[in-house]
Structure 1
Amino acid sequence: MTGGGLFALPRGRAELAPGAVHLPGRLSVEQQRDLVDACRSWARGPVPLRHPALPGGGVMSVRTLCLGWHWQPYRYSRTADDVNGARVAPLPGWLAEWGRAAVAEAYGDDGGYAPDAALVNFYDADARMGMHRDGEERCDAPVVSLSLGYSCVFRFGNTEHRGKPYTDVELASGDLLVFGGPSRFAYHGVTKVHSGTGDPATGMRGGRLNITLRETGLTDRPPESEPTGHP
């Protein structure tokens, strides 16, 4: 399959590193508005947005909710045991299809991509995301990132450590980012959010929404048997 039927015509494609592809402006205003509306619905529950607590006692500045599988540092479960114990909402089929289309556009083929989890992160103007890698999955399928609202400075690093070399790129509302292959476990983060950017026609009333789609490689099993992952 290809992504041409879902996304806007290609503009300014860039490869940040081998396997890491930035696809700017792929989501139309209508698609962004639909996704913003969906995020508002998901935020009403069964598991609401929350600031995830880190094992060392810190609290993340972003607010997060999950679909399909619930993520908490640094593990997945079907229920939000660190919030209210509720089972998370399922990952919608249409959102998984957007993920497949993004992978197909980035690599020329979707490779059988089958995301089963999404993290929805909300950034206010002061929120940041430290350098980290997505390592709790038992699968090396690509991660697909969708950006809405305020633009940000996204830092894409290397697979060995949090320091240089890295590349800073602006992610704007409607942009897609796909990273897999040799860049699947690269460190990455958000160093700055640009307040006041974005198109009000998308329905955003401030802040940045980022949705990342993942293929976990997990099956339903008791939470204690799931991985602790990588800090």
Structure 2
Amino acid sequence: MKKPVVIGVTGGTGSGKTSVSKAIYNYFKGHSILLLEQDDYYKDQSHLPFEERLQTNYDHPFAFDQDLLIAHLQDLLQYKPIKKPIYDYALYTRSADTILIKPKDVIILEGILVLDDERLRNLMDIKLFVDTDADIRILRRLMRDIKDRGRTVDSVVSQYLSVVRPMHNQFIEPTKRYADVIIPQGGQNHVAIDLIIAKIQTILEQNQFFSTSNGQ
């Protein structure tokens, strides 16, 4: 029986992992492919007072419902549909709504800690670590949080120094050793992305998901 190809893409905040994931996704768009984001699997906090939810460290492994993510990935690997959770960032907890995700032949799993859990790693065919200098990552985060989340410069810098940077050094950076490929410069590294796409094509052709003529 055919098994979907799973590609894990990780890296620190602002590293360009989302750009790499979308570049791969867009190349194979039109084929059987889906993008699964670890951020959707933050734990439900509806049982906590709102003030306590505000204290959540979103860069720590304990913030994620890894058991649910693994169960969903295992279902997708068996070509079973899942009901993917939706995280409400305004309420700092999981929404009551879900999204029906149908199984596909290629699954891209993207997130800051997708290589931290050995159970997840064991389900992956290709493991990528997007490696970008810390100064570039903080600038990208600064611009994103100010523009998209209404944050102030002081709040972003304070959170980065007190939480994001320590968590990156403690949990995210060490997962680099599990990667099959380390991609410097993130989404700007077109050579690395092209090589990864070629590798994925080879795997798909070997699994007879599609022939070379179906490639883009």
Where on the TM-score scale, by shorter chain, does this alignment land: which range? Answer: under 0.3
Query: Higher RCO, 1 or 2 (CA under 8 Å, sep at least 6)?
Result: 2
Question: Which protein has the bigger strand share?
Answer: 1
Question: Which protein has the bigger helix share?
Answer: 2
TM-score by length of 2: 0.27
TM-score by length of 1: 0.26
